[in-house]
Amino acid sequence: MKILIFSFCYFFILISCVKNKTLEKGSVDETVCTEPAEKCLITKTNMNGVSFENVSYAIDNSHVLPIKEINATWVTTMPFAFIQNGDDSVQYGQSFQWYGETRKGVIDIIELCHNQDLKVMVKPHIWAMGTWVGAIDYNTEQEWQTFEESYKKYILDFAFVADSMQAESFCIGVELKKVVVKRPQFWNQLIDSVRTVYNGPITYAANWDNYQNVSFWSKLDFIGIDAYFPVSTKKTPTVEECYNGWENDFNAIKSLSNSTSKHVIFTEFGYRNVDYTGREPWEEGSNSTFNEQAQTNAYEALFCRFWGQEWFEGGFLWKWHPKHNTAGGSNNNRFTPQNKQVETLVSETFLQSNQ
């Protein structure tokens, strides 16, 4: 797989050199290359992470060791909260919730990960019943106040857990598209409150289509993006096609990083092993095909584009199941890379970028 990565890198180096070959009269024949290393060479990247699935059972070292075996260095643990359909109050710590979503579950997961020298980001999510979390919206100020008060309590409770367990990073929210645009003052106040409880670096996980509408990046330590950007409409896109499909979004993300002086994290990234995987990478349900090559190509292009960029910290693949031996596989077309062709690429890329 390393051969594939570097062959692809060489291809872009060659094309870049040919396009930029310049000769002056009387000079020695020289070839000038523009940024081939930045485009394709996998170099040191800080966050090689996985998004660890919440489960209903207690976990132990056997569930964490496979993460080390793919050379990952970070894990996100995601204590979910819920908003019932038509409600405006965030509920968490409920009796029906799974172990991994509870305070005790999060503490246990952090401890297990730290025992294996894995760093942890605590990343609370809301599960909006009957809708997408990005669509959460309210008509009255009273409804907004109820939502904000309950959400703040939820976030601060887990920020306290993150601090007490010395989790290495904390995320204040995920894909709350309308809430972020309509209630910027709330987020500014929430960030200030989180910093009184949690002493580490914090971020927010913006959806790929509205990260540019977040007004409070300057108050955070990193720009966080759930990076389900469309990159190709082909059934089985090549690495080159997926790489080229990143062009506009890559430049826009880099520009935001430069303008805010903040590094970027992909708080989530990934592709399913299905046909047209790069067309709507966020799609979870309707595509029932199987296509491991498409998944591998899309992953490789993303790694080639971003891993090693000096303004890019890394990211967390979506997602990783604790029971590795029975997770994923050729008969599974969900997001997980486990026991699929792409797992080898992930492992080798993480190993290379850890050095």
Share of the chain above pLDDT 70, in %: 89
Say which residue the tokens 């190709």 belong to: 232
Average pLDDT over residues 158-186: 98
Q: Read off the pTM.
A: 0.88
- Is the pLDDT score of 12 beyond 90? no
From CA 174, how far away is CA 48, in angstroms rounded? Answer: 19
Burial profile 296-319: b = 16 or more Cβ within 10 angstroms, e = fewer = bbbbbbbbbbbbbbeebbbbbbbb
pLDDT over threshold 60, residue 182 = yes
Model confidence at 85, pLDDT cuts 50, 70, 90, reads confident
Q: Where in the chain is the domain with CATH 3.20.20.80?
A: 42-353
Are 295 and 273 contacting, i.e. CB atoms less than 8 angstroms apart?
A: yes
Average pLDDT over residues 51-72: 95
Rounded Cα–Cα distance for residues 50 and 75 (Å):
5
The model's pLDDT over 309-354, given as tens digits with 9 standing for 90+, comes to 999 999 999 999 999 999 999 999 999 999 999 999 999 999 999 9
pLDDT reading at 266 higher than 50: yes
Tell me the average pLDDT of the chain.
89
pLDDT band for 137, please (50, 70, 90 cuts): very high
**CATH class label, 42-353:** alpha beta
Does pLDDT of 218 surpass 80?
yes
Burial of 285 (0-12, 13-18, 19+ CB in 10 A): exposed
Question: What is the structure's pLDDT at 40?
Answer: 61
Query: Per-residue pLDDT tens for 17-26?
Result: 333 333 232 3
Q: What is the mean pLDDT of residues 177-206?
A: 98
Q: Is the pLDDT of residue 155 over 50?
A: yes
Q: Which residues contact 278 (CB under 8 A, 6 or more apart)?
A: 230, 231, 232, 233, 234, 237, 242, 245, 271, 294, 298
Write the pLDDT tens digit of every residue in 23-45. Answer: 232 333 332 222 333 446 788 99
